[in-house]
Structure 1
């Protein structure tokens, strides 16, 4: 057993009569002759409230617990999970998972390297479900609705939601290694619709992270979010159709990093590169972006939405440099991809729940700031688009090709910001876009803590960020002349 002061632990969860010692012995037996594996035990509670059209539309509470038992032999994985926390269930799961040692992959649901250890804590043990009374939460959503309608006479609909969860995690590994983590998460989302002269536009804003509910529900915080949503909707009410064609793009700081996350970040996850299916496969040590472009994934940012004390395999999270000054220097790894690529696990082994297997996943992924000023980017652009906010997008990991919809954008004409436009989409490929960056701003900013990332059917909270930057010669899709 590792010394107690070397094990990252917040507190052991109360799993009732579940015998961790016996489960550990069953795991050790199952791992004999295998390369890796663990028992991931989880207890989770969630709460969500949605206030829409001047009434409480829904209020939900959920509680779940269970475990996932994994045995890895070479590239073969045996995985079984159960919502029943009992030694009998663990024994049945072990019988299924050990088939991996016979070369039989299995994934069922039932009724070698030592990870780096750290005692660092990147968030406090808040209980966001019980910090506020239920009646106070409803009153908060009512206040948001009333404030939004009072702010602008064109507001015709308001939607506000509050979500909170807490997770208690215990991970058993071979040789008696035991890891614990407690993970709070909160999010406030606000949407508004404004109508003027028979034309309606909607916009949204919000905030969150691994913080207390009080950190996002103080009046100054939620009022600022309401004001931002109304501002965006008003801009789009006056927007003209976006022109189409090739032009220079200036991206604003913060949330526009979602383009970076999708078009570049996923391609730097270890499993895609181990399989050779990423646009960045086989390019380690080569220039894949313009000089001045440095991209990192950092799971250690205090209170950030994507941060973790340890990942879902028990490895301490870290700050992993992926692209440094344009050169590809690293990938994000879980234990499996690290072992198969002769690399170090970076603390990016993440799973949606006990019922899912871990995969290499982003935590907080962002581009570091540079020395250029946003005003200079605009002034030095003769014809282009200033993209401030983004909606959804599509990306092909194999070649990095993307299509992203701008939800707030402006024309740039002769070095000045012009009319707002609607219907603009950015079309390109991630590696190509990164090579076309010629100015990197000094105004780095994170998103407000609302990002969610999907991969292989699993959704996880993530952080996104970047400074403003200029990309030369992207294709813009639009409906205007």
Structure 2
């Protein structure tokens, strides 16, 4: 169990008094709540044999929201007290105005637990974590003489939230998070290249610190850097592209996932707006957002409005069947909330956000898909990218890619980018592998200045005729 559990109503707040303040603030409103949060986080970074960063952060506060129609008033503070609540209520109340709204029904409760409530910061001593990072550095250098730099980091956090709603419902969640990342630089014949690997989830640091785990992460980082050392300039033009399983699902997340969030569709600014029931992808394509997967980075027992998370099918066999919703957008669009109301913390207002978004398995053999690639690109890893939500246009950088000729994987490519738009790319899919995988637990998603942890995934995909940007004609 988490140590020193966050219980603001048993400590600094009287629940009945806080409820009275909230109800007054929401008089005539459609919805609203008090969101209380305490978060503790720690990070350790070893760079080139030395501890470069050792940080600890603790924060707590509350946010009070009042919603009426399309307008929401929000005020927050670091001081958890009745006087601070009253000041916040006065500010949030301005969005409600005069008149009578109908208060939305409370979210359904849940007793489900998707992850431990153990504090990941208290599992191992500081000295042991430092020694583990030093072992990682030594192991990487002994494994490959080309290693000239090693950067290894551990990060862990514990977020505790409590939500008080006007009908008296009180809901809480305790959310752990841990992550290990390793990056290496290899040098050969005067050329240097980088490789990175890592992952984590809503777990403690203990498993990530096991030698058999981090040694595998080191080997993968060195493998990627070694591939890049031998890479040649990527060609540019129109190519058939095979995309690997797991983390490459970040392309789906950005190019399609954001366009399926409820607020963009309510406002009519998404490439998918008003297209429920239409074919928006190739047959066989089913896209799901699922916040209920145990221990995953993007999972939440409840969202940040108190709605239990769910497995939501968004695209089924190529047909658009639904959007991701928070409470406000769901009410305005006449549908049910989907458990996707998320916020970065108490200082932020909730909005529709993804959890773990992925495409499910197909029936095709990935080896046969690759053999069918006559002149194309095999993209295995992705870095950063840019997406325009209004039309789904994207540009993504490949961190590991290969040229394929007549089904044979050839030279590694450097500087390859995939260019297109989400709806068109979904229609270009002509092969869906049976090798579905989720990412290792590395995703963060940004929207409107807020960042939340997410997961992505997919099987191998074969797309016909995608634009590839490169550095060679």
TM-score normalised by structure 2 residue count: 0.97
CA distance in structure 2 between the aligned counterparts of 1:355 and 1:103, rounded to whole angstroms: 26
1:21 to 1:12, Cα distance in 2 relative to 1, 3 A = farther
For 2:108 and 2:375, locate their aligned partners in 1 and report how far apart those are by CA, in whole Å: 50
Once the two structures are TM-superposed, the CA of residue 454 in structure 1 deviates from its matched residue by: 0.4
Contact 1:391–1:407, Cα closer than 8 Å, also in 2: yes
Residues matched between the structures, number: 465
Instruction: Indicate the RMSD between aligned Cα atoms, in angstroms.
Output: 1.3
- Number of the residue aligned with 1:190: 182
SS at match of 1:32: coil
Provide the C-alpha distance between the structure 2 equivalents of 1:34 and 1:243, rounded to a whole number of angstroms.
57
| Distance of 2:404 and 2:361 partners within structure 1 | 23
- SS for the counterpart of 1:25 is helix
Structure 2 equivalent of residue 6 of structure 1: none
Cα-to-partner distance string for 1:296-340 (whole Å, 9 max, x where unaligned): 000000000000000000000000000000000010000011000
The answer to whether the 8 Å contact 2:284/2:362 transfers is: yes
Q: Provide the rounded CA distance (Å) in 1 between the counterparts of 2:14 and 2:299.
A: 30
1:277 to 269, 275, 278: 269
1:455 aligns with 2:450: no
Contact 1:11 1:180 in 2 (8 A): no
Q: Which runs of 5+ in 2 are unaligned?
A: none
Structure 2: distance between partners of 1:206 and 1:393: 19
- Aligned residue number for residue 356 of structure 2: 364
Question: Quick one: structure 1 residues 311 and 196, their matched pair in 2 at CA, closer, same or farther if it must change by over 3 Å?
Answer: same
The answer on whether the counterparts of 1:383 and 1:414 sit within 8 Å (CA) in structure 2 is yes
- C-alpha displacement at 1:284, in angstroms? 0.5
Q: CA deviation at 1:246?
A: 0.3
How far apart, in 1, do the equivalents of 2:159 and 2:185 lie?
Answer: 34
**1:256 aligned counterpart, secondary structure:** helix
2:86 aligned with 1:91:
yes
Alpha-carbon distance in structure 2 between the residues aligned to 1:353 and 1:311: 12
Cross-structure match for 1:13: 6
CA contact (8 A) 1:170 1:178 kept: yes
* 1:51-70 pair list within 5 angstroms: 51-70=46-65
Counterpart of 1:79? 74
Aligned mates of 2:263, 2:209 — CA distance in 1: 39
Distance 2:186 2:14 in 1: 56
Q: How does 1:375-390 map onto structure 2 within 5 Å? A: 375-390=367-382
Determine if the alignment matches structure 1 residue 39 to structure 2 residue 34. Answer: yes
Distance 2:12 2:429 in 1: 57
Report what 1:129 is aligned to.
Answer: 121
> Quick one: distance in 2 between partners of 1:396 and 1:339?
26
Q: What is the deviation of 1:103?
A: 7.7
| 1:208 corresponds to | 200
1:184 Cα deviation from its structure 2 partner: 0.2
Counterpart check, 1:151 vs 2:146: no
Alpha-carbon distance in 2 for matches of 1:21, 1:360:
30
In the aligned structure 1, how far is the partner of 2:448 from the partner of 2:207?
32
